Amino acid sequence: MKPKPSATARRPSGWRATAPKARKTCVTPSATATTPRADCKYAAPAILRNPDTRGRSFSARNTKEHSMPSFRFLAATVLALTLISTAPSLAADSPSTLYKKNKVTLLLGTNAGGGSDLGGRIIAKHWPEIAGSDMIVKNMPGGGGIVAVNYLVNSCRPDGLTMHMMMFGSSYQLPYLTKNRAAKYDASRLHYVLGAYQEPWVLVASGKFSSLDDVARAGNLTYGIMNPLEGNNFAMLPVLEALQLKAKVVTGYKSQQEALLAVAKGEVDITMGPLSQVMREVDHGVLQKPFLLMERERSPFIPDVPTFFEAVHVTPEIDVLYEQCRPLCVAVRMMAVPEDTPDEIVAFLRDAFTRMAESESFEADARKAFLLGGNCLTGQELQDFIRTAFNVDFSSIMEKLNKYSQ
């Protein structure tokens, strides 16, 4: 049998191999010269460029039959994504679900160890019982809380997952009333969800003084505070005026605790401190017993400490000054979230903290740290307090305080 001629032998004489014509392609800066752009009219359908189809021949009919399902799938995908992106807000998590699924950060505008820090950590401990998730405490001292509130308002999403707690006066009220340029926020527009650990101020002195009379007789006194617009500065003003003390304010302490320790060390002569915080240091032997309580009636927790009205001769003018200063020196730790926080989240937080304030376990822990316990502002009482606090006229008070800052 004769062998079959090879393919080469069957080629006609004069035959010459020629390279196939290169197909026209479109390229982008990110594409290579051999990669057709999907929207180029010269590029073959994706199915023809599939490595599994190499070497096959496709008719126009086959191409259409294979490409049509791809286009239908693409159209269905685009439609589905559009529906998802425009779905109603009902698909979003409810506030209850949001807090069960996410941890919360509590910013404290003070160093660790002070009253606000201790109070904040008690709230963080009981948050899981109320919301079902953890609360992380982050200390951010500076400016009496202004640094922390700046961070809350300008660097955090208003999603209710970051809150701030600090003394109301130094962090919120006074920066607003004085138009403090360091405060990059309008405190009157924040949402306040809890006021906690209300307590009166007491006057404490360094060990070189054994009574209020010693303080009254002294000259060139110094008193330490966090900043000139701190609540205890306004609490101190009626005392300074009534006793006609020659005193100068020393500012810059990052927390109430630092100011109290400065008194204990003799770095400054006197200061005003929250009742519970002062008595804790008294029990530890760090401070001596306070000389007076800035209230009209004695406290059952320190029954032997006289009130301001008992310890000092109060003229009608001083009485008026006392009442003017009261809205500016309420010692209450206030919890706030940014103004753009959704209403339903704000409502949930207010309700959650109301339930926490009514919790026996929270109150038990609060009483271990604060003589008056949680003593919380919630509900309508909280909103009434906020409304009044941001409508105080204190120009005359500032005039009196300025002479102690020179």
Q: For residue 129, report the phi and psi dihedrals to the nearest 5 degrees.
A: -65, -30
Q: List the structure tokens of 179.
A: 């138009």
d(CA 97, CA 148): 27
Tens of pLDDT, residue by residue over 171-213, are: 999 899 889 999 999 999 999 999 999 999 999 999 999 999 9
Query: Does the pLDDT value for residue 248 go beyond 70?
Result: yes
Tens of pLDDT, residue by residue over 88-130, are: 343 478 999 999 999 999 999 999 988 899 999 999 999 999 9
The CATH classification number of 95-198+330-392 equals 3.40.190.150
Angular region, 303: left φ>0, alpha ψ -120 to 50, beta rest: alpha
Only one residue has tokens 């904040």, namely 120
pLDDT level of residue 329 (50, 70, 90 thresholds): confident
d(CA 390, CA 177): 7
Tens of pLDDT, residue by residue over 337-346, are: 999 999 999 9
Q: Which residues have CB under 8 Å from 55's CB, separation 6+?
A: none
Q: List the structure tokens of 46.
A: 């994706």
Percent of the chain having pLDDT more than 70? 77
Domain boundaries, the chain: 95-198+330-392, 201-329+396-402
The amino acid at residue 65 is E
- Do residues 135 and 106 make contact, with C-beta atoms less than 8 angstroms apart? yes
Rounded to an integer, the average pLDDT of 160-179 is 92
- Do residues 308 and 238 make contact, with C-beta atoms less than 8 angstroms apart? yes
Q: Of 226, 273, 231, 225, whose CA–CA distance to 247 is shortest?
A: 225
Q: Which CATH superfamily is domain 201-329+396-402 in?
A: Periplasmic binding protein-like II (3.40.190.10)
Sheet holding 191-199, edge to edge: 135-139, 104-108, 162-167, 331-337, 191-199
* CA neighbours closer than 13 Å in the CB half-sphere of residue 335: 27
Only one residue has tokens 């760090």, namely 286
Q: List the structure tokens of 266.
A: 């003799």
d(CA 270, CA 299): 21
- Do residues 377 and 196 make contact, with C-beta atoms less than 8 angstroms apart? yes
Query: Does the pLDDT value for residue 23 go beyond 50?
Result: no
d(CA 172, CA 164): 11
Only one residue has tokens 């009166």, namely 200
pLDDT level of residue 319 (50, 70, 90 thresholds): very high
If DSSP codes are grouped into helix, strand and coil, which group holds residue 258? helix
Q: Do domains 95-198+330-392 and 201-329+396-402 have the same CATH topology?
A: yes
* CA neighbours closer than 13 Å in the CB half-sphere of residue 69: 5
- Do residues 178 and 392 make contact, with C-beta atoms less than 8 angstroms apart? no
Q: List the structure tokens of 300.
A: 């059952």
Q: Find the DSSP H helices in 226-359.
A: 231-243, 256-265, 275-283, 308-311, 316-325, 343-357
